[in-house]
Amino acid sequence: MSSAPFVVVVYAAASVVLVGLGVRGLVARPNLLSKVIALNVTGSGVFLLLVALARRRPDAPDPVVHALVLTGIVVAVSMTAMAVALVRRLHRDTGQTRLPHEEQRP
Amino acid sequence: MPAEALDVLIAVALCWLAWRVLADRDLVRSALLYVAFGLLLALAWVRLGAPDLALAEAAIGAGVTGVLFLDAAGALRRRLPTAAQGPRPARRRLAVLGSAAGALAAAGLAVAVAALPGEQEGLARPVEENLPATGVGNPITGVLLSFRAWDTLLEVAVLFVGAAAVLTLRAEWTVRMVARRRPDPLLLGFARAGAPVVVLVSGYLLWLGGSAPGGAFQAGALLGALALVLALAGAVDPASVPGLAQRLLLTAGTLVFVAAALATAAAGDVLAWPHELAYEIILAVETGIAVSVGAALGALVLVAKPPRREEAEGQVPEEA
């Protein structure tokens, strides 16, 4: 990556940080809605990495990667909506916002 | 030089916002910060030469996802004050474990990315060379609807399955209650006056997608937003839309896509659009996709909330 354009290096570095933060949130936050948000941050990091890498030839970014990420954004929102619906259903039925094996008080 | 400074600023702000989103104990604030994060990400897409993604991210990534989080955060916070804080040592253990996992993931990714070549041809040139055969001028649309049309077909199916799953988890529409409680004449007038304009702009984006940034998903996101505004203003009661119409709206993209594939296969072009009709077929398929994306995004947000317990147990919902 040493010969890559500056903009690619900057956003690729940011994407690595985003993935790290997202994975941290996914594990560290017991609240299920926080976990879904963390999953979305991780996904954004992956998208950012893909699009940054697609820019390595500056005159013409790779449109196949852009199409892939566009598909990814739409699939991510479907996944998120279903996960949020599951969290809300769990909350309605049990009053909990965490998984049973996480420490919790009724 | 100023351009590079802007890139560094956006990248640092993205990381800081992501940290704030995930560190905040207040879910509503977390959700609001996530919207800001999504909008900043849209700026990053522009800087990386991906305006199609910027449009989709601002509407779908920041808009729809943000509304989903905000609505859920409000509902979870209302009924759960601050009771469910775990015991301290357990929280600290989770934090240490999470930090370790995050650091490991980031380090592994950094090593892998650093090993990649800095210059890469990619598929930009082959796409450019073969684009005339697709009948469209925008390489993203060409890839989505022609070279990788199979992926897009399944993507539309995923959106439909997601909407169907959310509808199954909840049998009653949220917004009906909102609309009944607060019929706002100003919002209603605005929604009614704005609706034709939004439909027009959406159609323009769809048509524009053939040659410039835009296309079915961006147009569909606008339609979804329109559905939300109309439902929130009380101009349209989503529950009054007949079941068959709901199903047709949600599946329009998949149905048109499959019909086009079967028709061209019957005419002799299996898994390929016939050359002279490619543009017309792509436009028809995109129109179907835009309708379905709009319906699915509207449905995903409007029905994310489960019915209140007494209602769910007391009566059989009139539609499912």
For residue B88, is it within any domain? Answer: no
Interface check for A90 against chain B (CB to CB < 8 A): the answer is: no
Domain identity same for B143 and B22: no
Domain identity same for B53 and B133: no
Global pTM? 0.87
Domain boundaries, chain A: 6-94
Q: Using pLDDT thresholds of 50, 70 and 90, give the confidence band for residue B106.
A: very high
Domain identity same for B264 and B140: yes
Task: Answer yes or no: is pLDDT of B315 > 80.
Answer: no
Interface check for B309 against chain A (CB to CB < 8 A): the answer is: yes
pLDDT greater at residue A67 or residue B175: A67
Q: Using pLDDT thresholds of 50, 70 and 90, give the confidence band for residue B233.
A: confident
For residue B279, is it within any domain? Answer: yes
Task: Answer yes or no: is pLDDT of B60 > 60.
Answer: yes
Interface check for B225 against chain A (CB to CB < 8 A): the answer is: no
For residue B107, is it within any domain? Answer: no
Nearest to B143 among A21, A63, A73 (CB): A63
For residue B64, is it within any domain? Answer: yes
For residue A78, give every residue at least 6 positions away whose Cβ sits within 8 Å of its Cβ, in sequence order, or none. Answer: B158, B159, B161, B162, B163, B296, B300
Mean per-residue pLDDT, A70-88: 91
pLDDT tens, position by position, A4-29 = 888 999 999 999 999 999 999 999 98
Domain identity same for B302 and B178: yes
Domain identity same for B264 and B131: yes
Note whether B105 contacts A23, CB cutoff 8 Å.
yes
Cα angle value B306/A93/B83 (rounded, 5°): 105
Query: pLDDT > 90: what percent of chain B?
Result: 33
Domain boundary residue, one of B79, B113, B145: B79
pLDDT tens, position by position, B165-185 = 888 887 454 544 454 556 678
**Cα separation, B275 vs B288, whole angstroms:** 21
Domain identity same for B141 and B67: no
Question: Cβ of B70: how many Cβ atoms within 10 Å?
Answer: 17
Interface check for B12 against chain A (CB to CB < 8 A): the answer is: yes
Contact residues on chain A for B68, CB-CB shorter than 8 A: 77, 80-81, 84
Q: Are B191 and B229 in contact (CB under 8 A)?
A: yes
pLDDT greater at residue B239 or residue B96: B96
Which residues between 85 and 144 in chain B have a beta carbon less than 8 angstroms from any beta carbon of chain A? Answer: 86-87, 90-91, 94-95, 97-99, 101-103, 105-106, 109-110, 113-125, 127-128, 139-140, 142-144
Note whether B73 contacts A33, CB cutoff 8 Å.
yes
**Cα separation, B154 vs B162, whole angstroms:** 12
Domain that holds residue B302: 125-314
Which residues between 28 and 87 in chain A have a beta carbon less than 8 angstroms from any beta carbon of chain B? Answer: 28-31, 33-34, 36-38, 40-41, 44-45, 47-49, 51-57, 60-71, 73-82, 84-87
Interface check for B65 against chain A (CB to CB < 8 A): the answer is: yes
Residue B183 CA from chain centroid, whole number: 28
Domain identity same for B201 and B293: yes
User: How many domains would you assign to chain B?
Assistant: 2
- Options 1.10.287.3510, 1.10.10.10, 3.40.50.300, 1.10.3430.10; CATH of A6-94: 1.10.287.3510
For residue B150, is it within any domain? Answer: yes
Q: Which of A12, A53, A60 is nearest to B7 (CA)?
A: A12
In a 3-state reduction of DSSP, which class is residue B256?
Answer: helix
**Cα separation, B138 vs B22, whole angstroms:** 37
Residue B308 DSSP class: P
